[in-house]
Structure 1
Amino acid sequence: MTEMKKIELLAPAGDLEKLKTAIRYGADAVYFGGEMFSLRAGAGNLNLEEMKEGLAYAHERGKRCYLTINIYAHNEDIDPLYDYLRQIRDLDIDAFLIADPGIIAMVRETIPDAEIHLSTQANLTNWRTGAFWASAGVKRLVMARELSLEEIRSVRDHLPQDVELEAFVHGAMCISYSGRCLLSNFMTGRDSNRGMCAHPCRYRYSLVEEKRPGEFFPIEEDDRGSYIMNSKDLCMIRHIPDLVHAGIDSAKIEGRMKSIFYVATVVHAYRQAIDAYYEDPDNYVFREEWMEELLKASHREFTTGFYYGKPGHEEQNYRTSRYTKEYSFIGKVLSYNEETGIAKVEQRNKMNVGDHIEVFGPDISFFPMTITDLADWESGEKLESAPHAQQILAMHMAEPVKPGYILRKKEG
């Protein structure tokens, strides 16, 4: 029996810290934006020196890095983009995520051996379009979110085997067609196709009749509220076998603007599920603990999107656009002294002596503990609480920890 090629776990890297976190917690590859020409202008993104550091960190660990240049360029973008490509052409970037065919041509002209991945912004929804891009030398095709597993399987069957398919498996869903939204531009002047989406799909709307200005009528679906364009979040962790059988080569997590807590939690859960499947595909059983872990990261209600057919009204959340947040990210371990049991911790949210918390890392599930002591790392001053952002602390740990482990606390 031929060994199955393992599906790639592809994680978002909104900045250098998230890049390292994603790799530490199990990502096979990361995608990130530079300071320009990426569709997540609000993410931290990476400057040239950070790209070099991130690439070195990933490649030393056998991981891959993909740079997003997935805006739809206007004429005014062309010369600055050429300048940008000349700045990065000597970096060892594994692939470029691009939607605009003109930008593909520019990248090939400037970096002839570049590997090209077609961004989801290109709206690939059928195998004929896939064949076109494959014939143009595109190595990987990112599927539109509007495709079912059956449709993806058909795309796979019609393409050469060396052409890879990538699909989103977790994260926010755009109400507009594969992210091609004009609402943001129209309402706020921020162009979603150039990286500045204001997310108007999450707003609460009312109706106004033209002859009754100032009289607002709520838009309601029964008694459930008026967030008429607010999709639930995609979550396919229960369906790893179906993703594999559909021929997907890379399982992509959305979230370049999310926290390192989100990245670590989601990547860790999917890593465990994917590894468990490949260890014994015939006897694979989903473990509820993986879903319980996912729910500890900030999230909306979950949906399987279009994978099993067109979504109905249940795939929308009409009540609120807020995230569910049951746990807070309170700190990150920087170092640990095995002899004393004391960790150097960077505070991320307020913590107090006596708090009941959980600690998790890439090589463990989690362990609960109570904070018994806190001290300022530099002065040694004893503290009852740590309210200052990114304060460096010393604290005893209930079990051994490693750099990169994360501390979280249940809300309420």
Structure 2
Amino acid sequence: MNTFFDALETRSADQRAADLARDLPALIAHAKTAPALAESLADVDPAQITGLEALARLPVIRKADLSGAQKARPPMGGFLPAGGAFEHVFQSPGPIYEIGRTTADWWRMGRFLHACGVGRGDIVQNCFGYHLTPAGMIFESGARAVGAAVLPAGTGQTDLQVRAAVDIGTTAYAGTPDYLKVILDRADEMGEKLAITRAAVGGGALFPSLRKEYADRGILCLQCYATADLGNIAYESEAMEGMILDEGVIVEIVRPGTGDPVPVGEVGEVVVTTLNRDYPLVRFATGDLSALMPGVSSCGRTNLRIRGWMGRADQTTKIKGMFVRPEQVAEFVARHDEVARARVIATREGEMDAMTVQVESRAANPGLYEQSIVDVLKLKGRVEIVTPGSLPNDGKVIEDRRNYG
């Protein structure tokens, strides 16, 4: 297998700057053909946007902007450019809708799978969801880009997952970091040995202890940072020295709540401009925290690196691969007149995410709230009833107690 996916990964800094100066004005001009961007960029001369300094003067787009616009102008809120086309529409919590296309490697996931050593002759057991959300198709598209076959396994049904992996000789896994352990442990219980040697994971934190457990089993596990709106943003190589930025995006790290870039090394909010002409989001604020790293990776790829996902600029937290948002907690409280406040706490139990919902209520039975928690948060969790007025008065409704060291 070639060391690099393509020549873009090893460009010099001067070549990157020249390519950006060439491509960015054309992208901004094209983006302005989308009604929503024509409004926000009305006074912008695309010819003047030739580098990061000029880009940083443009307004930031936030998730709330997309959600509000989509309700007013369905399906995509005026963010599709002239001639925009798509084959799929997906739904993420909010709800927010994203488009997808069947053109080659549309989400740019092939670059990450190539870095994982996945290629022709591999069978990828794709355990990302295919229902409503795009993750399953994102990784399937990447597998096709590197010539690998795909078992579209989706989520759950662990016994069937093990049986299929054994019967077809699955060599690579794609899915959330902790579900692979569920499959491996179940295979052990069933007396089966799997042939998986590589894992491409995302949608949740890859904790060092879990990565080591996979390595002890002979599995190289690397992670990427991707979103439904933007596709792949950054990915690990075998060097495992931070995450290398994908070649199809421009990433800025800004002070949360602003569009102002912070110095290299300082933690801030990830803002992404995608070079995708089908859906050219300009300065899209992800709500995620990270930091740029100095230097380049020892693997030979020369693009900038980030330290990976470091939490949320707001309180939105990903638990078991699903985002839990403050507005969802508020909706849960509003459903129960006797509930004064609630607090979602994310922890780890072994190598799995766990969720506890503390509820201020004079009720005695936690079971009263279990179903509405599933209905609103889309996750099962432990319910703890606490005395009204006892939760900390710190403004938090979601607390992440997981250790990301």
TM-score (norm 1): 0.28
